[in-house]
Amino acid sequence: MKFALFLGCHIPVRLKQYETSSKAILERLGVGLVDIEEFNCCGYPLRNIEFKAFLLASARNLSLAKKKKLDVMTLCQCCYGALKKANFLLRENASLRKEVNAVLEREGLPYEGEVEVKHLLYVLHQEVGVEAIKKKIVKPFNGL
């Protein structure tokens, strides 16, 4: 199990401990993470100001993950929502997809809608599983 890790803008700057602890836990659980240096902002801050810029930012990130043949996992719920929404809208709307792809073509990054966006908590619960996590517990908090 391997994912393109999307940290977004705030986590590396303001919540470094969230990034560090998440990476440590995921490594212990056997989840591979790939950092894609070319990732940009998810587009969330632009969503209500310049809708197409929001879609372009998200689509570019999804296309970068696709290029590495990876699904995206994010720690930030706003990034998750932005990437997930853009993915849905672009999959459903051929006209928007065509517009976005016209810009992404300049970088050779076509949006094809094949990447899934997952949040850390989903990955832990659904992909890794509760039982697998229980088996890795070293110091249980029994009796608290």
In tens, the pLDDT along 22-58 reads 999 999 999 999 999 999 999 998 888 899 999 999 9
64, 88, 109 from 105: Cα distances, Å: 12, 20, 6
Position of tokens 């587009």? 43
Residue 1 has pLDDT above 90, yes or no: yes
In this structure, the chain runs to a length of 144
Q: What's this model's pTM, rounded to 2 decimal places?
A: 0.91
Q: Which helix (H) or strand (E) is 6 found in, with range?
A: strand 2-6
In tens, the pLDDT along 50-72 reads 999 999 999 999 999 999 999 99
In tens, the pLDDT along 69-82 reads 999 999 999 999 99
Whether the Cβ atoms of residue 68 and residue 4 lie closer than 8 Å to each other: yes
